Structure 1
Amino acid sequence: MKAFWIAWAGQLISLLGSGMTQFALTIWIYRVTSRATDLALIGVFFMVPLLVMSPIVGLMVDRYNRKLMMMLSDLAAGATTVVVFFLYTSGNLEVWHLYVNAAINGVFQGFQWPAYSAALSMMVDKKQYVRVSSLLDVAGPASGIVSPILGGAIIGLGDAGGFDGLTIIMLIDIVSFIAAIASLLFIHIPNPDPQAAEKTRGEGFIQEALYGFRYILQRPALLALQSVFMAGNFIFSMARGTLLAPMLLARTGTNAWIFGASQTIGAIGMVIGGVVVGAWGGFKRRIHGVLLGWAMGFFGILITGFGRSDPSWMIGIWAVGIFLAALIVSLINASNQAIWMAKVPVEVQGRVFSARRLIAWFANPLAALIAGPLADYVMEPAMMVGGPAAGTFGWLVGTGPGAGMSLLFILTGFVGLAVSLGSYLIPLIRDVESILPDHDAVGAEG
């Protein structure tokens, strides 16, 4: 466990710096363009190369040094931040530069999650899978508590004091990447048994890269489980993943303090959720953590849609909704991760987990491409004063900038609740844990 804690601490520091930069650049982009679509495209340019590379990355994680894969992703992220720093300080940074930056990061960040997930199976005891998975989920939110506060404070003080807060934030980010890479240098991260991995090799590189998809397709219960995640991710990304930042910035006049507070509240919710799951261990039947977790998360999204900045007390509705949607994330992810870690042999987890991510996350860029233009060109104009939907829904979410996005939150919340609770009616999903044996009870299958 010592190696796990060192790696976890290094990533926590790195995520702190990355969170501050992401927070600051989100405000910078919205101040420049005032469009949700531009923010959505950052996610699209990040996700598409990450997903396209997933099968190849999974094969490399299974074949080669997992520690090297993890260091490579941190190094690439640090290098791209350096490039953005010099473009910004020289006065040449444009929004399209950030699209390119996101695409490069997407390629290299694809190594990190499969490598960490696969290495985790060999670093800790099986009984600790849910707990350490929840701790991995906590790392991002833990840094997220501090990064929006620091980022908002630095930007706010910079606006008031006449200095450039974004420059300082990116310098902090660069230092944090150095700390993450250094932490990996001092620990041993095990690699799979070459002889066991050799047994799963196909006739060529392409066949091996596709092994993860074949593995899942041959197990309908796993495919059904991951299909639920694909649907959940699509609905979740339509609202919280894509429109939360532009909705809040639009409804508050790009107020960095309120936006930062909302990010911090969400991060606190995720940390509390992760700590609770880590101490509790989750439901005995992991599928309850997945489906009930999704339902509670979508209820939080539904609540978020009712918030607004006028009257000021309704800002508290945002806080409740954001907190609830974030609180349950660790339970969902840790429960799902525990199922997959228990069912999939360690020597093929890199390929299978990459394929699993591609199936589940494919919906994210699609949701962003739909949600951004839908908000900018349909929902927002419809909910402006005098707009075609203002008379019908104005009493519910108000009118003006951000109201159309608020209405989308409510609609997606209802749809998400129906999908998550309705999945209990499908035996392949409901009984996935009894349908499939644990991998330590059977050998790897191809």
Structure 2
Amino acid sequence: MKHLNTFRELRSFLLLWGSQTISSLGTAMTEYALTIWVYGETGRASSLTTLTLCIFLPTILFRFAAGTLADRWDKRRIMLCADLFAACGTGAILLLFQSGSLRIWMLYLINILLSFMNAFQAPAAFVATSLLVPQKHYTRASGLQGFSGAAVSILAPVLGSIFLTLGGLRLVLMLDLLSFAVAFLTLFCFIRIPAVPHAEEEKAESFWESCRSGFRYLREHRTILRITLFMTAINFLAKLGNDGMLAPFVLGRTGNNQQILGMVQSSVAIGLLIGSLIVTGMKPARDKVRVIYGTCALIFCGNLVQSLSMSPVVWCAAAIGSYIVAVIMNANLTVFLREQVPVALQGRVFSVRDTLQNGAIPLSLFLGGILADQVFAPLMASDTPLQALLAPLFGSDSGSGVALLVFLSGALGVTLSLVFFLRKHKDTP
């Protein structure tokens, strides 16, 4: 009876979650297939990084304003429009490919437009989840969302490869369109998202005043601001270290062994999957703020273990452990913010938070490559007293410089997390 009541309480959310997961899987398969197509057309890694930038950067740039509009507009309509717009983008790619007219620059342009729409969809979907899910089920909902994300990351390359073999890029794009149809029709026919309390009062504000209110809310609620700035630093260090440098670390250590890299990357997905299952069944933590800081320290401990080891088995084990803990951290962070931020403000507040937290990632990735190639790799290849001191810990192979960078970012991450963990705080805004 208890499980039946839980299902009834989460029915609308489960419909939304399931249909959006199917749509996300279709999108991920298309991204995988297009990555292969682009590299096959150009043979240049820069084409792939440019494609990634077109997907990532517009969302960051427009998320701030989009979050404000998401608070003012109907969440269901925003999500329906975003799904329809994404389907049009995939349909355009399919038509161009079928006619033999598809060019790389066209993919860049289409992905910029889709990324712009995602800036609106993400905050709308976040607020919709808060409206559909009773507060007592926030942790369970976060676990389910983490589970679907991990499942998509595991299944997309596998299914993408299969469908590419069976029917090429055309089949993958058609399946993506089918997945969009499932998400659109489910949301349109079966899901009604409740109105946001006090939404009409918010509309009386000017647009720019509403934009500023997101920043003002963070400034006035010191605990949330402190966590946001903390996570900005954590994301920067994570991308500077193993999260952003995993491939060069493993390939450098193993002499470009792609099979071992695949094993470690699969371990990351396994960790995400296990962590999501754990979160789905766990009770909400009492002191979520301390859990956030403590789990971040454990995540970076895993990075330290990886950087000091030459064993792929240890790398895989550390990756699984780190990402299990990462899911627990993210679930507590999400639930804490859902509980503390009024629903009427969540779109703009979370958009400001995402802009701050993710804005440093491109800089971190850029610096990571420069530091690894031009600072730490030459250092570990030199004949200096410092290299002689570090070589017993990190070796002297082509991956030793990246290992040193991963270690330093991990050490900074552990230190920062412990400083925040040990200081007094309140689990309130």
Q: Are 1:187 and 2:190 counterparts? A: yes
CA change 1:213–1:374 in 2 (3 A) is same
- 2:267 pairs with one of 262, 265, 268: 265
Q: What per-residue deviation string (whole Å, max 9, x for no partner) do you get for residues 391-445 of structure 1?
A: 6655444455544333322221111111111112443xx32x24x3xxxxxxxxx
CA change 1:71–1:33 in 2 (3 A) is same
Q: 1:76, 1:108 within 8 Å by CA — same for their partners in 2?
A: yes
Q: Are 1:375 and 2:372 counterparts? A: yes
- 1:327 pairs with one of 310, 324, 328: 324
User: What are the within-5 Å matches in structure 2 for residues 88-237 of structure 1?
Assistant: 90=100, 93-94=103-104, 100-151=109-160, 169-193=172-196, 196-201=198-203, 203-237=205-239
User: 1:34 offset after TM fit, Å?
Assistant: 7.3
- Paired residue secondary structure (1:243): helix
- Paired residue secondary structure (1:186): helix
Alignment-derived partner of residue 444 in structure 1: none
Q: What per-residue deviation string (whole Å, max 9, x for no partner) do you get for residues 271-324 of structure 1?
A: 21111112112422111321112112212223333466xxxxx22222122212
Sequence identity, in percent?
30
- Amino acid corresponding to residue 408 of structure 1 in structure 2: L
What is the distance in 1 between the residues matched to 2:351 and 2:403? 34
What is the distance in 1 between the residues matched to 2:329 and 2:23? 24
Q: Choose 406-415 or 240-249, whichever is displaced more.
A: 240-249
What is the distance in 1 between the residues matched to 2:179 and 2:248? 27
CA change 1:149–1:376 in 2 (3 A) is farther
CA change 1:29–1:229 in 2 (3 A) is farther
User: 1:358 offset after TM fit, Å?
Assistant: 1.6
Q: 2:305, 2:318 within 8 Å by CA — same for their partners in 1?
A: yes
User: 1:269 offset after TM fit, Å?
Assistant: 1.1
Alignment-derived partner of residue 346 in structure 1: 343
CA change 1:92–1:249 in 2 (3 A) is farther
- 1:315 pairs with one of 294, 312, 315: 312
- 1:7 pairs with one of 16, 21, 33: 16
Q: What per-residue deviation string (whole Å, max 9, x for no partner) do you get for residues 242-265 of structure 1?
A: 322454456667766544443332
User: What are the within-5 Å matches in structure 2 for residues 215-294 of structure 1?
Assistant: 215-248=217-250, 257-294=259-296
CA change 1:389–1:130 in 2 (3 A) is same
CA change 1:82–1:126 in 2 (3 A) is same
Q: What per-residue deviation string (whole Å, max 9, x for no partner) do you get for residues 300-355 of structure 1?
A: 223333466xxxxx222221222122112221121111111111111221122212
User: 1:266 offset after TM fit, Å?
Assistant: 1.5
Q: What per-residue deviation string (whole Å, max 9, x for no partner) do you get for residues 141-169 of structure 1?
A: 022222234446678xx6xxxx9966655
Q: Choose 168-177 or 122-131, whichever is displaced more.
A: 168-177
- Amino acid corresponding to residue 189 of structure 2 in structure 1: F
What is the distance in 2 between the residues matched to 1:101 and 1:383? 43
User: 1:8 offset after TM fit, Å?
Assistant: 0.9
CA change 1:224–1:381 in 2 (3 A) is same
User: 1:223 offset after TM fit, Å?
Assistant: 0.8
CA change 1:87–1:307 in 2 (3 A) is farther
- Paired residue secondary structure (1:210): helix
* Structure richer in helix, relative to its length: 2
Q: 1:66, 1:189 within 8 Å by CA — same for their partners in 2?
A: no
What is the distance in 1 between the residues matched to 2:31 and 2:255? 19
What is the distance in 2 between the residues matched to 1:395 and 1:164? 51
- Paired residue secondary structure (1:242): helix
What is the distance in 2 between the residues matched to 1:372 and 1:97? 28
What is the distance in 2 between the residues matched to 1:261 and 1:64? 44
User: 1:118 offset after TM fit, Å?
Assistant: 0.8
- Paired residue secondary structure (1:281): coil
What is the distance in 2 between the residues matched to 1:418 and 1:30? 40
| Equivalences, count | 418
- Name structure 1 gaps, 5 residues minimum: 309-313, 437-446
- Paired residue secondary structure (1:189): coil
Alignment-derived partner of residue 442 in structure 1: none
Q: 2:72, 2:202 within 8 Å by CA — same for their partners in 1?
A: no
- Amino acid corresponding to residue 289 of structure 2 in structure 1: I
Alignment-derived partner of residue 443 in structure 1: none
Q: 2:264, 2:312 within 8 Å by CA — same for their partners in 1?
A: no
What is the distance in 2 between the residues matched to 1:368 and 1:243? 8
What is the distance in 1 between the residues matched to 2:174 and 2:85? 16
- Paired residue secondary structure (1:284): coil
What is the distance in 1 between the residues matched to 2:240 and 2:72? 36
What is the distance in 2 between the residues matched to 1:391 and 1:101? 51
- Amino acid corresponding to residue 60 of structure 2 in structure 1: L
Q: Choose 339-348 or 384-393, whichever is displaced more.
A: 384-393
- Amino acid corresponding to residue 134 of structure 2 in structure 1: D
Q: Choose 404-413 or 227-236, whichever is displaced more.
A: 404-413
User: 1:128 offset after TM fit, Å?
Assistant: 0.8
Q: 1:202, 1:208 within 8 Å by CA — same for their partners in 2?
A: no
- Paired residue secondary structure (2:327): helix
Alignment-derived partner of residue 441 in structure 1: none
User: 1:228 offset after TM fit, Å?
Assistant: 1.0
- Name structure 2 gaps, 5 residues minimum: 1-9
Q: 1:293, 1:328 within 8 Å by CA — same for their partners in 2?
A: yes
RMSD: 3.5
